[in-house]
Amino acid sequence: MSTLTNKFDYVSSTKRGSYWMPFTANRRLKEQPEERTLVSAEGPYYYKADGTKLFDTLSGLWCSPLGHAHPRVAEALHKQAMKLDYAPSFQLTNPQTVHLADRIANLAPASLEHVFFANSGSEAVDTALKIALGFHRLRGEGQRFRMIGRERGYHGVGFGGLSVGGIVPNRKMFAAGMMPGVDHLRHTHDLKYMAFSRGEPSWGCEIAEDLERLVALHDAGTIAAVIVEPVQGSTGVIVPPVGYLKKLREICTKHEILLIFDEVITGFGRMGEAFGAQRFGVKPDMITFAKAVTNGIIPMGGVIVTDEIYNTFMTGPENAIEFAHGYTYSGHPMATAVAHVVLDIMEEESLFARVRGLEPVLEEAMHSLRDLSIVTDIRNIGLTAAVDMAAAKGGVGERGLQVFERGLKAGLLLRCTGDTISFGPPFISTPSQLQDMVETVRGLIQSVV
């Protein structure tokens, strides 16, 4: 590992006192900085300062399906930096950004034809919510201001995404400043009927009727959009019941409500198709994406919208600017250069098909953990899975934290939220790497019984 920085250089030069880490128990981390410092990465592995090699069980934060340190990406970055490292995104553009929008639209279901670029999932979501408001206003339905999210949904940390999101601890501190007019669908995870489901649970389609309840409560004419993740990722791979998303689509269409799929995790192959929309055979009006589009190497996000939405803006009242929204870094040339290489590699190596091939391997391995006494549920779809453990006497999250910390010693970088372990390994993983990962997880779970 030529890039491995030595422990003295790195750790001692890092002023832990200055760095305020995101979504982290900072107070706790300060007790063990060396344990939590990654210094390099290659392929599906991360390396710590002491040389420990960790299998990347979540592809970074669901964003690096090609693994790390890909020479072609590094080369593309260097070339782009020497050619056009930045270009203003307002009033001007550059060839590879224009071309990337076409490529992304080509991957999306038919009629989702136009791409607005942002720099993260949070920005993509807030952009989509603003497009929904603008769309309705332009067609004379400006009273449609309500947004419907879903319990346990994660849509980033902007005020829009936070408001439609349904993770209670994330919302709590900011309750006073939420976006008005937001309501939430019931989530679909009901262990009574669907524990240990493989793929889409066969029970639960009728939960989609909850949308009719909200429509009746608020009046369809006040609702702009429904936003859901096809598979809820951050809250532990909650897979939609068979027919559930189709039913949501039908209800939205009936009441002229826009349906937004937040595909920040499910987009670009993780479901074995370009998007979850294709995997589940349901066409939303907008798709938000981020993460894997650049393999996580440079931030990028965006929204894909239908012709109908785009044309409504383009043919609306004559304003100098049709959509008063955008970011300094929308369609950043460095990010688009990386995205092109990432899409090339995905195509050349048929990685969506590879995910379809790995899905049953991951499913078999994951469900083999069912015999462990503290495992209360296992779920999987595409190249994602989650295992729930019963809470220990010490409280919710104690086992999760122990498994995570022991994983760092046992060669796994794990993502544990509460007592749920979520998995989204790189597409380049081999079947035996996935099986080894699950065997190590078996030992870790046994160690916290």
Residues lying near ligand PMP in the complex (CB under 6 A) are found at 120-122, 125, 154-156, 229, 233-234, 262, 264-265, 290
- Look at the alpha carbons of 190, 194, 197, 202 in this order and tell me if their dihedral is positive or negative: negative
What spatial distance separates the first Cα and last Cα of the chain, rounded to whole Å? 36
Residue nearer to ligand PMP on the CB measure, 134 or 296: 296
Q: How far is the CB of 164 from ligand PMP (least distance, A)?
A: 10
Residue nearer to ligand PMP on the CB measure, 138 or 339: 339
Q: How far is the CB of 97 from ligand PMP (least distance, A)?
A: 19
Strand ranges across the sheet with 258-262: 112-118, 301-306, 286-289, 258-262, 223-228, 146-150, 182-185
Residue nearer to ligand PMP on the CB measure, 207 or 264: 264
How far is the C-alpha of 302 from the C-alpha of 264, rounded, in Å?
9
Residues in the chain: 449
In a 10 Å sphere around its CB, with 0-12 CB exposed, 13-18 middle and 19+ buried, how is residue 190 labelled? middle
How far is the C-alpha of 282 from the C-alpha of 271, rounded, in Å?
13
How far is the C-alpha of 366 from the C-alpha of 346, rounded, in Å?
25
Residue nearer to ligand PMP on the CB measure, 49 or 302: 302
Which position's Cβ is nearest ligand PMP?
Answer: 121
How far is the C-alpha of 185 from the C-alpha of 144, rounded, in Å?
18
Task: Determine if residue 58 is left, alpha or beta; phi over 0 gives left, psi from -120 to 50 gives alpha, anything else beta.
Answer: alpha
Q: How far is the CB of 51 from ligand PMP (least distance, A)?
A: 29
Residue nearer to ligand PMP on the CB measure, 64 or 120: 120
Helix (H) or strand (E) holding 253: helix 244-254
166: helix, strand or coil: coil
Residue nearer to ligand PMP on the CB measure, 121 or 302: 121
Residues 6+ apart with CB under 8 A from 176: none
Residue nearer to ligand PMP on the CB measure, 155 or 340: 155
